[in-house]
Amino acid sequence: AFVDYDGSGTLNTATEPYTFTDADGAFSLSSTNGTQKVVVTTNSATAGNLAINAIDGSSGAALSGGTLTGPSGSSVLSPASTLLEKSDLTEAEVAAALGLDGISLTAFNPYAVDQSTATDAEKANALAFEKVATQVITTVKAISAAAQGSGAAAEAASNAAFSSVISVVSAKATAGETLDLSDATDLGAIQTQAATDLVAVAGVDATAFNAVLATAITAVGVVNTQVKALTDTDLSASSTKGLFA
């Protein structure tokens, strides 16, 4: 995790404060600039070529190549906070478009909800938040992987994939609608946007990318539909962790 003083999205170990997260993903940083975003990454290149050994706490699987951000002042970084930081929308607009009305995208931690003392509403919010987070990152990773397989660099592909999702989130927010990342029409809109955004990334072979994009989006739909169907509010349950992998 680091404070991105220069806005480059990449850690400068000589000038920017950084630290490693603990086993629960928590970290603490001191900054002389309270307006710059914080970045958490499992991508060594983004982390100034530091060695990284990360585990996804929601699934127990090894984690690599991912980068999350959030607006200045964020206490929790997630796919939702990343969409917010990378967009021109308000937090309320992004939350509504993701079906997370009333939940803070910059402070809510679903894994901090105590299953033994939380209310049913708090447990439901935790499940809803993590389901959306999983669906967003599944979509972004699939599009990014298709682009990387077609010649793009990992970080550029991920940024462009997030941009494609953000474009559709923005359209949904403007229309007062909710994005359903398991819905074929909504995924089709993201696919159409990605076909434009990702072929503009340096190194991408447009023919190769478009040849695999449709298959990738179809696979995303299958996974995201399974995630949508989850009802167990215990995020540590083995069946839940299996889908969050």
The pLDDT of residue 63: 54
Average pLDDT over residues 192-216: 95
Residues 64 and 81: their CA atoms lie apart, in Å, by: 19
Average pLDDT over residues 33-55: 73
Percent of the chain with pLDDT over 70: 92
Q: Check residue 54 and report its DSSP letter.
A: E
The reported pTM is 0.86
Local structure of 133: helix, strand or coil: helix
Rg (CA), the chain: 17
Band of residue 130 on the pLDDT scale cut at 50, 70, 90: very high
Instruction: Compute CA 83 distance to the chain's CA centroid, rounded to the nearest angstrom.
Output: 7
The pLDDT of residue 54: 63
Band of residue 55 on the pLDDT scale cut at 50, 70, 90: low
The pLDDT of residue 68: 86
Band of residue 10 on the pLDDT scale cut at 50, 70, 90: confident
Cβ-based neighbour number of residue 229 at 10 Å: 10
pLDDT above 80 (res 40): yes
Residues 126 and 234: their CA atoms lie apart, in Å, by: 9
pLDDT above 60 (res 93): yes
pLDDT above 70 (res 56): no
Average pLDDT over residues 110-121: 91
